[in-house]
Amino acid sequence: MDIVYIRELEVRTIIGIFDWEREQRQVVSLDLEMGSDIATAAATDTIENALDYKAVAKRLIDFIEKSEFFLVETLAERVADIVVNEFNVPWVKLRLGKPGAVTGSKDVGVIIERGSRR
């Protein structure tokens, strides 16, 4: 299995449990590793045979910007579900971070791996 990846995708959204977090957008940061067989795309040199990482990024940005979850865990699950089910990805590893959420740390968050149930 090959991996197509997106690193440090930053999106502003409503996320958090405190009142002030529900009133202002915060940055979340994503790293994605998506399982993909790139052989056909490489042989044909066409985007139609590739996992279009730009399309993935645009879809996730749109979804995350409109979301208003309390927990990063919930947002991570929904993002993984979109990648696996809408983009026909058999496996995804996702790091979703909330920079600056804990004083003294650069970033906190979750790392999850999910696969299709086919």
Instruction: Indicate whether 111 pLDDT > 90.
Output: yes
Q: pTM for the whole thing?
A: 0.94
- Please give the Cα distance from 44 to 30 (Å, whole number): 30
Which residue, chain included where needed, has tokens 């004083």? 103
Say whether 98 is catalytic.
yes
What's the average model confidence in pLDDT over 103-117? 92
Q: Which of 58, 66, 93, 98 is flagged as catalytic?
A: 98
59 residue type, one letter: R
Q: Classify the C-alpha dihedral 40-43-49-55 as positive or negative.
A: positive
Sheet holding 68-69, edge to edge: 68-69, 2-15, 26-36, 91-97, 109-115
* CATH number (domain holding residue 102): 3.30.1130.10
Specify the number of domains making up the chain. Answer: 1
pLDDT digits (tens, 9 = 90+) for 37-79: 999 999 999 999 999 999 999 999 999 999 999 999 999 999 9
Question: What are 42's two structure tokens?
Answer: 């490489």
Boundaries of domain holding 34: 2-115
